[in-house]
A and B are shown apart, each in its own frame.
Chain A
Amino acid sequence: MSSATDRSPSPAADADSTIVRGRPTPKWEPYLGWGYLVILILATGFLLWFPSSATAYSVSLALIVLMTISLATSWNYLSGFGGYTSFGHAGFFGIGSYTGGLLLHYERVSWIPAVVIAGLGAGVLALLIGYPVLRLRGPYFAIAMLAFSELCRVLVTAWDSLTLGGRGVYLPILRFQREEDGASAWDRFGVQVHNNQNYYAMLVLAIVAVAIAYAIGTSRFGLELLAIRDDEVAAQAMGIQTTRVKLTAFGLSAIFPAAAGAIYARQVGYIDPPTVFLVIWSIRSIATAILGGQGTILGPIIGAVVLTLVSERVWETDPNLYQVIFGGLIVVVVLFMPGGLIALLQNRGILPRSRRL
């Protein structure tokens, strides 16, 4: 829309207007989409090449960054665009971990279908619980989703015959490779391949998550979510099918933490309820999205890179201080830059103000 650049003040605007005008749209704005495409291709190329030259540590750190991108980006679908702050990502992460972990443990399917089943299963679950729960708003919805996560943890712990309860689940992948490969000299290599497989799986997941965020952020569906965030009653009165829109966003947002959880289970090789249903998975998703910029496409990506690398560095220095700094960072961001890093860049004029971000 070329006319979008027409920002000259209208002479007919009424006299009492006190408009705070933003910066003018820069000339290169129309090429922004192509710019992103180039950056995306370069980034994907780099990330594909990366494991072949990096240490196992760097690969697993990059894997965590990619996982955080999936978590924060998918949290953003409903909670960033739609304004329904959810503490349910821990629940979906844990359910995905257990779905994938148990499918592998009982050797029902190979790992890729296990990840897909975990993701889609959580999506269907979200549609079922979303119908009643999405009637709640604001803090009530947040608390309901926190309760949902806890409920999942308790159920998984209690359902001993299926989930092995509090003892946790060992995933058989490492044993498999040892049997197949025979010699123990292959073990190191086996772990490496296994590590890289998970890395590439997380990469694919992150790309799909961001692609969906892009589709949402540039579509009328995304605008409908923003309208629900700003004024749900008015949105409904203007004919927006709020229930359908919220359910769709909720279902999509549940797929990614669950699929990431399944890959994560395979990566760590052992899961138990206290670790995979930890509320920190929700907090991490929320903090990342808020740090980067809620309701934007780039925000959660920037947030994931910054937050993961910073928290890794802090963790190295002092694991006890880690939680404090992590919490302090969230408070500072919420108080002083509610729009996140994206808004900071936009206000400085480094990035244009545009929904495409």
Chain B
Amino acid sequence: MSGVVLDVRGVSKRFGGIQAVNDASLAIREGIVTGVIGPNGSGKSTLFNLVTGLDHPDSGEIHFNGRDIAQLGPDRINRLGIGRTFQLTRLFGKMTVHENLIVVSRSGRREAGERAMELLGSLGLSGLWNEYAENLSYGQQKLVEFLRLSVSDPSLILLDEPFAGVNPVMEQKLLAQLHAWIAAGKTVLLTDHEMAIMMELCQEIFVLDQGEVIAHGAPEAVRADERVMEAYFGR
């Protein structure tokens, strides 16, 4: 049993009249892929925003490698080793692809350039080196966002619906990158609506409904859980 890297303890977040996350506790173990599933509006994105510092919880604690990060800013949290992608890609549109990669690197300019070249080459995207990010297709933007994450080299990776709206060819490329991260020993926290992928990829799954964790465990156990069926299919 590997150690817990991210420990979300009793976290709540309210927006006006909506309780987006309600006393949620999740323990993310090191070096595995953990999934968070739940219907739209169940609090997945809010949870991601709380962990990455884009929002701060009203109550509860978020410990990353034993340190409470609940009130830290997003740049601090990223520098501690948590990286993320967004549900809708957020590249720097009026910058070129290689600039998008270099800007988040913390090594020297030359080194960063070489690393960017190597990463783009690994996905067959070298031709896009000098292209403005806003000119890329949606799938290409997703890939470049994955590569940008690789450049900043976090130990914990949060992926917010990475497979939504991409074609099967692109999905294979994204999966290949994901497997490369797993092989490199990264911890991955993932949300998606593609159940087949989630069941295959994740070693552990948390189920959110209306901001609460209603079930967690191995994929098979979660799939068989009655409350999960109810939340998803409204039985």
- Please judge, given known A-B contacts A233-B54, A236-B73, A238-B148, whether A226 and B130 are in contact too, CB under 8 Å: no
Do A13 and B92 touch (CB < 8 A)?
no
Size category, A interface: 35 or more
- Please pick, from A8, A10, A15, A21, the residue contacting B125 in the complex, using a CB distance under 8 A: A10
Measured between beta carbons, the chain B residues less than 8 angstroms from A224 are 103
Min CB gap B141→A, angstroms: 11
List the one stretch of B78-86, B208-216, B223-231 in contact with chain A: B78-86
Size category, B interface: 35 or more
Min CB gap B191→A, angstroms: 16
- Please judge, given known A-B contacts A13-B124, A22-B130, A230-B94, whether A223 and B99 are in contact too, CB under 8 Å: yes
Measured between beta carbons, the chain A residues less than 8 angstroms from B99 are 223, 226, 355
Min CB gap B73→A, angstroms: 7
Do A16 and B137 touch (CB < 8 A)?
yes
Say if the beta carbon of B178 comes within 8 Å of chain A.
no
Do A230 and B54 touch (CB < 8 A)?
no
List the one stretch of A52-60, A148-156, A239-247, A267-275 in contact with chain B: A239-247
Main secondary structure, interface of A, reads: loop
Per-residue interface assignment for chain A, residues 201 to 232, with 1 indicating a CB less than 8 Å from any chain B CB and 0 otherwise: 00000000000000000001001101101110
Do A13 and B75 touch (CB < 8 A)?
no
Min CB gap A303→B, angstroms: 19
Measured between beta carbons, the chain B residues less than 8 angstroms from A19 are 128, 131, 135-137
Say if the beta carbon of B181 comes within 8 Å of chain A.
no
Per-residue interface assignment for chain B, residues 71 to 115, with 1 indicating a CB less than 8 Å from any chain A CB and 0 otherwise: 001110011000110100011111100110011111001001100
25 A-B residue pairs with CB within 8 Å? A1-B113, A4-B98, A6-B126, A12-B123, A13-B128, A14-B139, A16-B167, A19-B136, A22-B130, A22-B131, A226-B92, A226-B95, A230-B91, A230-B94, A231-B92, A233-B74, A234-B91, A236-B54, A236-B74, A237-B54, A238-B78, A239-B104, A240-B103, A241-B75, A355-B99
Ranked nearest first, the 4 interchain pairs of A and B with the lowest CB-CB distance are A12-B124, A10-B127, A239-B78, A234-B90
A17-B140, A229-B94, A239-B75 known, 10 other contacts, Cβ within 8 Å = A7-B127, A12-B124, A19-B136, A223-B95, A231-B92, A233-B74, A236-B54, A236-B73, A236-B75, A239-B152
